[in-house]
Structure 1
Amino acid sequence: MPASPIEVYSWPTPNGHKIHIMLEECGLPYNARPINIGKGDQFAPEFLQISPNNKIPAITDPDGPDGKPISLFESGAILVYLAGKTGKLLPRTDRERYDVLQWLMFQMGGVGPMLGQAHHFRIYAPEKISYAIERYSNEAKRLYGVIDKQLSKNKFIAGKTYSIADIAIFPWLRSWENQGITLTDYPHLKAWFDGIAARPAVQRGVKVLADLRQPITGDKEREILFGKTQYEKR
C-alpha cells in the first residue's frame, strides 16, 4: 500500500526549504500547502492548531510512528522526525548521530537567528541602524568562518556523510549577499555550498512554492511580518 502524502504547510523561506529538500532527498510523497506569511496565513486558527508559534514550516503525517496522524512544528524537529521515519540522513551510531545533532542545533540556535537578523537589519528594517547592521553582519562573518573551518577538515558539515545538518544550514546561506558576505572569502564553505546546490533533490526542493513568493514591498506586509500583528495575543 503506497504511503499517504505528508501535508507540508510552508513558504519558500530557508526554514521551509529545509523540509522541501529533506522530503525530496528521502523520496517521500507530500503536498505543499502554501502559508503566505506576507498575507498573515500563519495566524489562521487552523494553522495555529499545528504550529502554535505561528511559524512555518509545519507538517501533518497521516502515518505517524504509532500508525496515527502526527503534526509537528519547528523545522529541526521535523528534520529529525523525517530522518527517523525513513532511516536516512541521520547516522545510527551514537557518536555520529550526536555529531550531526550538534551541528543541527548550531543552525537552529545560531545560524538561523543571527543570519536572519543580519538580513533584517541590512534589508528590511525601516531605519538603518549602524550598530545593528555592524553587529549582525560581523556575527554572520563569524558563523561563516566557523562553518568554513569545519569544512576544511570534513567533506560535509558533520563529517564524511551528507546529513540533515547540511540540509539545515544550506538554505540559510543562499542569501549570503544580503548578509554582507563575500562567499569566496570562505573557500571550503563555497566548495561545499556549490556541491550541495548541484544535488538534484536540492534543486527540486528550493523550487517548491518559489513561484508564489514576491518581494516584500508594501507597508501592510512589513507590518504583518515585523510589526504589532506578530505580538497580538491569540
Structure 2
Amino acid sequence: MSSHNLYTDETPDEVKNAKGLHLITMNTPNGQAVQVFLEELKDAYGVDWTTTLVDIRTNDQKKDWFLRLDPNGRIPVLVDNNQSPPFPSMETSAEILYLLKQYDKKDMFGFSDDLERNECLQWMFFWHGSGAPYQGQVNHFTRAAPEKIQYAIDRFKNETLRVFGVLEIQLSGKYTGQEKEYLAGKGKGMYSVADIKTWPWVKGWNTNPAFTEEDMKAFPNLMKWIDRIAERPAAQRGIGDAYALNK
C-alpha cells in the first residue's frame, strides 16, 4: 500500500507527519504489550518512536483513517515510516515480532536458537489465542455487559484460571523438574517477547472483581513472575502515565 492510500485528509497530522516508528495505542493490555516492548528496545538500543493516543470508547478506531492502517479497527497499530512506503502492522503479536526482527538485532528479547525461538512462539501464540480472548471476555461480562450473565462470567473466569494454570505448569517446572523465571528459553528461561506479550494481561487479574486472592493461591510461580517483570523500569514506563489519556 502506498503512503498515498495509507493517509488521507482525515488522518491526524501527528500520524501522517510522523517520522520513524509511530504507535497508535490506548493503555489497555494489548496496547501495553507493544508499549512495554518499545520501552525495552529504548533501554537496550536507544530505539525512538512517537505515540498517538486514541480513545476506543469513542470509536475513533472505526473511522476510515484508522481502518486504512488496520482494517480490523483495533489498537494498537504500529506504523514504520522508516520503510518506503510506510509499513503498517496490526495485531499485537505481529507488531511485537516485527519489532523483534527489525529492531532487536542482537536477539536480546528473542532467541537465536531455533528451538528456543519456537518455544517462545508457542507461548506467544498460546496467550494470543487462549489467554487474552478468555480474560478479555471476563472483563467484558463483568464490566461492560448491559446485564449480568453469571453463566458467561463463570465460564470465562474458569477458562482464564485454566490458562493461568498452564502458565503455572511451565513456570513451576512441574513436568521438567526445572523451575523457570520466564516462559521460554533453556534452564530458568530468558525474559523475552513471550513474557512481554503475556504479562500486561495477567498482571491485571486483581483489577477484575471476578478473581480473588484465594483463586490466585494456586499459581505461586505465576505470581512471582508477575512481580519479577513489574520491577523492570521499561515495564513500569510501558504501562505508565505517558500512555494515559487523561494525564
Pairs aligned (count): 209
What's the CA shift for 1:191? 0.6
How far does residue 135 in structure 1 lie from its aligned partner after superposition?
A: 0.5
Distance 2:217 2:203 in 1: 14
Deviation at 1:113, TM superposition (A): 0.4
**Structure 2 residue aligned with 1:103:** 123
Return the offset for 1:181.
4.4
Q: Find 2:156's aligned residue among 133, 136, 151.
A: 136
8 Å CA contact retained: 2:171, 2:222: yes
Runs of 4 or more, structure 1, over 6 Å off, are none
- Asked if structure 1 preserves the Cα contact closer than 8 Å seen for 2:26 and 2:244, the reply is no
Question: Residue in 1 aligned with 2:195?
Answer: 166
2:133 alignment counterpart: 113
Q: Are 2:57 and 1:38 aligned?
A: yes
Q: How does 1:1-234 map to 2 (within 5 A)?
A: 4-27=19-42, 28-64=47-83, 68-85=85-102, 86-87=104-105, 88=107, 89-153=109-173, 154-159=180-185, 160-177=189-206, 178=208, 179-182=210-213, 183-207=216-240, 209-212=242-245
- CA distance in 2 between counterparts of 1:181 and 1:174 reads 13
1:161 Cα deviation after fit: 0.6
SS in 1 for 2:153: helix
**Is the 8 Å Cα contact of residues 5 and 30 (structure 1) preserved in structure 2?**
yes
Partner letter of residue 163 of structure 1?
A: S
Q: Which moved more, 1:145-154 or 1:182-191?
A: 182-191
Percent identity over paired residues:
36
Q: Are the aligned partners of 1:60 and 1:71 in contact in 2 as well (CA < 8 Å)?
A: yes
**Structure 1 CA distance, aligned partners of 2:71 and 2:77?**
10
**For the residues of structure 1 that align with 2:39 and 2:133, how far apart are their CA atoms?**
25
Following superposition, the deviation at residue 142 of structure 1 comes to: 0.6
Maintained 8 Å contact 1:18/1:168 = yes
**CA-based RMSD:** 1.6
Cross-structure match for 1:225 = none
Distance in 2 separating the partners of 1:213 and 1:73: 25
SS for the counterpart of 1:138 is: helix
Instruction: Tell me the alpha carbon deviations over residues 98-125 of structure 1, each in whole angstroms, 9 at most, x when there is no partner.
Output: 0000100011101110000011112221
Distance 1:98 1:181, change over 3 A: farther
* Superposition deviation, residue 208 in structure 1: 5.2
SS in 2 for 1:7: strand
Give, as a single letter, the amino acid of the residue that structure 2 aligns with 1:6: L
- Calculate the TM-score normalised by the size of structure 1: 0.84
Alpha-carbon distance between aligned partners in 1 of 2:128 and 2:211, rounded to the nearest angstrom: 20
Shift of 1:37: 0.2
Q: For the Cα contact (< 8 Å) 1:15–1:56, is it kept in 2?
A: yes
Query: For structure 1, which segment, 101-110 or 80-89, has the greater mean C-alpha deviation from structure 2 after superposition?
Result: 80-89
User: 1:118-170 CA deviation, whole Å, 9 max, x = no partner?
Assistant: 11112221111111111111111111111111111222011311111100000
Please give the secondary structure, in 2, of the residue aligned with 1:33. strand
The whole-number CA distance in structure 2 between the counterparts of 1:184 and 1:210 is 31
Q: Cα offset for 1:69?
A: 2.4
**Inter-partner Cα distance in structure 1 for 2:238 and 2:38:** 8
